[in-house]
Amino acid sequence: MSDIPNWHIIGDWFDNCSCAVACPCTFGQAPDNGFCESVLFWHVREGHYGDVKLDNLSFVRVGRWEGDLWARKASGVAGLYIDEHADDRQMAVLPALIGGRAGGFPGWVNECFAGGRQARGVERAKINFEIAPDQAHWGVEIAGKVKAWAKALLGPTSMPGQYPRLMNAPGSETGPGPQLVTWGKSTILSVDAYGFKFEYKSNSAKHIPFDWTGPAPYRPAVSSPL
């Protein structure tokens, strides 16, 4: 990776997937029924890849993966949408980052797909999203292609304005550290994009911040979940 510059991105990530609440990924487990159909969202609040600024850019991945990610026995297929405001240099950089080709934590995630990852394309899109300041709700839409909205979990014993969160999750999709998982429940997950067509309601969703650097590779303290 001698030709890859230093990079650093900080922001918000959330997903909306086919698994039941609470998502087994959070506990380092395989997905329900052996597969996961999902929408994954990233918003870079600030960041750079060498001299390429990445502030205030968003991107969305739609797809399906099978197997046990955390046991490094997964395979996947996905397509990527990048903020329509991204210039050509940013369009080249972001797929390399999220695909793991630039190292860091995404590089480790890429290694978990022992069965391979297939990309169906990368396109610019108008991405509309919202994340409540207290993570009470979050969601993203790409007109005619993606709709994924969720609310933080609440119940009869919840304290008002306080949502279920987990520190030190065994399976955090944004890596270790101060990444606080806020659990949610989908209100709608609808995808008709890149050859995928699925719809779920009342399924799993979660919000986790991310803070990634590279190209130095991430190496976990333990190699696999118990």
Query: Rounded to 5 degrees, what are φ and ψ at 3?
Result: -90, 0
* pTM exceeds cut of 0.85: yes
pLDDT in tens, 100-117: 999 999 999 999 999 999
Which pLDDT tens digit goes with each residue over 76-94?
999 999 999 999 999 999 9
Report whether 81 contacts 146 (CB < 8 A): yes
- pLDDT tier at 225, thresholds 50, 70, 90: very low
Distances, alpha carbon 36 to alpha carbons 2, 26, 198, 203, 204, in Å: 35, 13, 11, 11, 11
The mean per-residue pLDDT over the stretch 196-200 comes to 97
Between CA 14 and CA 154 the distance in angstroms is 18
Angle between helices 88-98 and 104-111 (to 10 degrees): 50
Tokens of 118: 């297939």
Placement of tokens 């793991």 in the chain: 100
CA angle 181, 187, 189 (to 5 degrees): 90
Q: Which helix (H) or strand (E) is 64 found in, with range?
A: strand 57-68
